[in-house]
Amino acid sequence: DTEVTQTPKHLVMGMTNKKSLKCEQHMGHRAMYWYKQKAKKPPELMFVYSYEKLSINESVPSRFSPECPNSSLLNLHLHALQPEDSALYLCASSHDNNYGYTFGSGTRLTVV
């Protein structure tokens, strides 16, 4: 298995809803990442987990809450989002510094 799987592919949520994005990889990668991408912009780093511990938080608002239950799974819990949070959310994983990144196909999030 050489893929990063993200679910759901599309999500529409209200500003008072609570939802979660899921990411899974079975490549034995030690690091997992969440990125946010707005239209026609490059991906922006949100969080990095290394060996299941949060190692980087790029000053992301607390309405985004990451969780890494085990080495294969990464979640992003969403609560009280704003319409400007609508974007493509990408998960990625990497084995080590010299092996590059593998990205998932993303979750298209719309906040109404």
Partner 1 sequence: KQEVTQIPAALSVPEGENLVLNCSFTDSAIYNLQWFRQDPGKGLTSLLLIQSSQREQTSGRLNASLDKSSGRSTLYIAASQPGDSATYLCASESNRDDKIIFGKGTRLHILP
Quote the least distance from Cβ 69 to partner 1, whole Å: 22
For 86, the 3-state DSSP assignment is coil
Which of 42, 66, 38, 39 shows the shortest CA–CA distance to 52?
66
Euclidean distance between CA atoms 5 and 3, whole angstroms: 6
Can you read off the two tokens belonging to residue 79? 């609560």
Can you read off the two tokens belonging to residue 101? 């990144």
Q: Which of 23, 46, 87, 90 lies at the binding interface for partner 1 (CB under 8 A)?
A: 90
Can you read off the two tokens belonging to residue 45? 């780093």
Q: Which of 21, 25, 47, 106 lies at the binding interface for partner 1 (CB under 8 A)?
A: 106
95 binds partner 1 (CB under 8 A): no
Residues 24-63 that bind partner 1 (CB under 8 A): 41-43, 45, 48, 56
Q: Which of 16, 62, 70, 97 lies at the binding interface for partner 1 (CB under 8 A)?
A: 97
Q: Which residues pair with 6 in a beta bridge?
A: 23
Q: Which of 17, 20, 65, 102 lies at the binding interface for partner 1 (CB under 8 A)?
A: 102
103 binds partner 1 (CB under 8 A): yes
At 97, which amino acid appears?
Answer: N
Q: Which residues bind partner 1 (CB under 8 A)?
A: 6, 41-43, 45, 48, 56, 88, 90, 92, 97-106, 108
